[in-house]
Each structure stands twice: as structure tokens, then as C-alpha cells.
């Protein structure tokens, strides 16, 4: 792979990740390139509020195929990462799978690798890429590549040999980033003189809180009229609504004994904090709402929640469904996630349904 001269590599001492206790405020746990938008963030930004609109099929066909393949790739626009790769990106991510991070998260993001005419952001040859870091992880490093002249993302899969490094920064704690509506953000200046036409930026963000590597494909069109940067990502985007939410959720679910179960999965942990996902599954009868109570054994506390609303009392947290994921069909599931403070230990869970 051809590497351009590095434009910058500042080395700044690592700062610890601080989880702020805000029990009633939903949040998301990771981040993405939001301008020019990564494929998964762009599809969520354009269609998240109307993901069942059939107009997407003709107006934005690459996003349409992605929503059909796995809606959670967009609801979880900020979770495209791999863990414990020790910086061996090329060894672990094959050619043709760069945009999905090597089929990250069990293949959730595979549709990001689909070759086609993805919606491109018009940019000039001197621009800034904005990375939004919702959990204030900071970076061990961030590397930005651009595809070579002559590469056509509409007809060719992305390979490592198609990329040229155009800028990078070194160890940069979140305290050095700009404040955002949620978490922090950083703008990475990029200059690619003489470029015209379609191309792609490929960004690798190595987060500082653990060995966690994020991968972003951003489609661009050099020479078009630049578009305005998006506003800060919303403070409480749903990260994992039901895979196939009903168009018209039933107002009166079938009568019967309404019950649910909750399954807890640790996603990751670090000094002083952790992240977990909880899957809520309806029993043999559809439910209209659910409540999950978690009690941690050793003083841990729930700090932030998404896909639900939380109230806390010491080490006990009660999470109720959000407005969009309370109705769950019989034997089907929905999920919510949380950030916690303290050294992780699995809580006891109860689930009640209405």
C-alpha cells in the first residue's frame, strides 16, 4: 500500500475515560465519522425517522439494500468496531470487507461492503473530516486514507491497495477534543490536491479506553458544491430498535398472561466502567410495554441508558421501554443498552410486562 507523507502526529498524554452519572438521560456509547458521513451514519441520518418509506428504494437504493439486509447496522451507526486486534488491521480485515470492519459484530454491517452508487457528499480538495465520539473515549490514533485516483467505488470493492494515507493524529485524550451535544468531536484536516470525481475516505479510529478499533467508509465527490456539515448527532438516537417494527403497532395486544424475560450480556469493560446490552423477550403473548429491574451486587451503578428510560436507586436501576419499542410480538425480542460505573459484576434481573 502506498503511504503519503504523514501530515501530523502529535503525541499527547493519555487521559482516563470519565463516565458521568446522568441516570435519566439516554445515550449512545461509541461514535462515527459524521461529515462526510460514514455509510451507516448517513443512512441513519437520512432515513432513521422514515425507514419504512418505500421512496428510499428509488431515492437512495444503497441505503435501501442496507436497511433490508440488517436495520441494526443503521440503528447502531456508532458501533462498527472490532476488539483486540492489536493494530493488525490488514491481517484481520480482508480486501472487500473494509467497510464492514471485516464483518464486525457477527456480520451486522456486511451491507456496508456492497458495491454500488452510495450517496456521496460533495467536497472540495481541502476539507475536514468530523469524528463524533459520544462516549468521550479519545484516541490512541486516528488514520485517514483516501482511495487512489482511478478507483471507482460504484463498481469496485475496496482493497487495502486502493488506499493512500493522507493524515493521522497520535494519542489524543478526549479532553483535547471539542465539546459536542453529546460527548466530544474532532475535526481532521485533509488536503488532496488535484482530485476530482468519486472517491472514498477510509478512517480508522483506535479508541483509548481499550483495544477497540472503529472503521468508517465515507463516500465523497470531489469538485461538487460542498454541503453544509450536519448538526451534532442527536443526544438520544435509538441504537437497536426491533429488526422489523410493525407499521401500525397494535393498540390492544391479545389478551392472556403477559410476561417477559431479560438476558444480560457484557459488551466491554474498562477501569471504572463497563457497557452491557439487555435483550427483552416477550412470552407466549404479545406485550404492550416492559420494565426491567437490575440490581448490582457490589455498588455498581447504571450511568447511562439508550433504548429505554431509567430511574436509579443506588445499585438498583429500573428501565422502562421507550415509546418505539414497548410493543413486542409473542416470542420476539427488543434490546436496550447501558453504561455503568464501577468494576463490573453481573446483576440480578427481573422483567415485567403489560
Listing DSSP states for 26-57 in one string gives: B----EEEEETBPHHHHHHHHHGGGTT-TTHH
Burial grade of 320 (CB within 10 A; 0-12, 13-18, 19 or more): middle
* pLDDT in the model for residue 224: 65
Residue (of 300, 350, 284) closest to 320 by Cα position: 350
Backbone angles phi, psi at 7, to 5 degrees: -85, -30
pLDDT value, residue 28: 40
Nearest to 99 by CA among 110, 90, 107: 110
Yes or no: say if 203 and 183 are a contact pair by the CB < 8 Å rule. no
Which pLDDT belongs to residue 228? 46
Domains of the chain with CATH codes: 31-222 (2.70.50.50), 260-353 (2.60.40.290)
pLDDT for the residue 238: 43
0.75 cut: is pTM over it? no
pLDDT of residue 226: 58
Q: pLDDT tens, position by position, for the chain (354 residues)?
A: 443 343 333 333 323 232 332 322 323 458 999 999 999 999 999 999 888 899 999 999 999 999 999 999 998 999 999 999 999 999 999 999 999 999 999 999 999 999 999 999 999 999 999 999 998 999 999 999 999 999 999 999 999 999 999 999 999 999 999 999 889 999 999 999 999 999 999 999 999 989 999 999 999 999 866 554 444 454 444 444 444 443 344 444 445 689 999 999 987 776 788 878 899 999 999 999 999 999 999 999 998 787 788 999 999 999 999 876 888 889 988 888 888 889 999 999 999 999
Question: Residue 323: what pLDDT?
Answer: 77
- Cell 451514519 belongs to residue: 41
Q: What is the predicted pLDDT for the residue at 214?
A: 97
Amino acid at each position: 500500500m502506498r503511504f503519503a507523507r504523514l501530515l501530523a502526529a502529535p503525541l499527547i498524554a493519555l487521559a482516563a475515560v470519565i463516565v458521568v452519572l446522568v441516570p435519566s438521560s439516554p445515550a449512545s456509547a461509541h461514535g462515527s465519522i459524521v461529515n462526510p458521513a460514514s455509510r451507516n451514519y448517513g443512512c441513519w441520518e437520512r432515513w432513521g425517522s422514515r425507514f419504512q418509506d418505500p421512496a428510499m428504494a428509488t431515492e437512495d437504493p444503497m441505503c435501501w439494500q442496507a436497511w433490508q439486509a440488517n436495520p441494526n447496522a443503521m440503528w447502531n451507526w456508532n458501533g462498527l468496531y472490532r476488539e483486540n486486534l492489536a493494530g493488525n488491521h490488514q491481517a484481520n480485515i480482508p480486501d472487500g470487507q473494509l467497510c464492514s470492519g471485516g464483518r464486525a459484530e457477527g456480520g451486522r454491517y456486511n451491507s456496508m461492503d456492497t458495491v454500488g452508487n452510495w450517496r456521496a457528499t460533495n467536497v472540495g480538495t481541502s476539507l475536514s473530516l468530523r469524528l463524533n465520539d459520544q462516549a468521550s473515549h479519545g484516541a490512541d490514533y486516528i488514520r485517514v486514507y483516501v482511495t487512489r485516483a482511478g478507483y471507482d467505488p460504484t463498481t469496485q470493492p475496496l482493497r487495502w491497495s486502493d488506499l493512500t494515507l493522507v493524515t493521522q493524529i497520535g494519542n489524543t485524550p478526549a479532553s483535547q477534543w471539542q465539546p459536542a451535544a453529546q460527548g466530544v468531536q474532532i475535526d481532521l484536516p485533509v488536503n488532496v490536491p488535484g482530485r476530482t470525481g468519486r472517491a472514498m475516505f477510509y478512517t480508522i479510529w483506535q479508541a483509548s479506553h481499550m483495544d477497540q478499533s472503529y472503521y468508517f467508509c465515507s463516500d465523497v465527490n470531489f469538485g461538487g458544491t460542498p454541503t453544509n456539515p450536519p448538526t451534532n448527532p442527536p443526544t438520544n438516537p435509538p441504537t437497536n430498535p426491533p429488526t422489523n417494527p410493525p407499521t401500525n403497532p397494535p393498540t390492544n395486544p391479545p389478551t392472556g398472561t403477559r410476561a417477559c424475560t431479560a438476558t444480560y450480556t457484557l459488551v466491554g469493560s474498562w477501569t471504572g466502567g463497563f457497557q452491557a446490552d439487555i435483550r427483552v423477550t416477550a412470552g407466549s403473548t404479545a406485550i404492550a410495554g416492559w420494565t426491567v429491574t437490575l440490581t448490582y451486587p457490589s455498588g455498581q451503578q447504571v450511568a447511562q441508558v439508550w433504548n429505554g428510560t431509567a430511574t436509579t436507586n443506588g445499585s438498583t436501576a429500573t428501565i422502562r421501554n421507550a415509546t418505539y419499542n414497548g410493543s413486542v410480538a409473542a416470542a420476539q425480542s427488543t434490546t436496550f443498552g447501558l453504561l455503568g460505573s464501577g468494576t463490573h459484576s453481573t446483576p440480578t434481573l427481573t422483567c415485567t410486562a403489560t
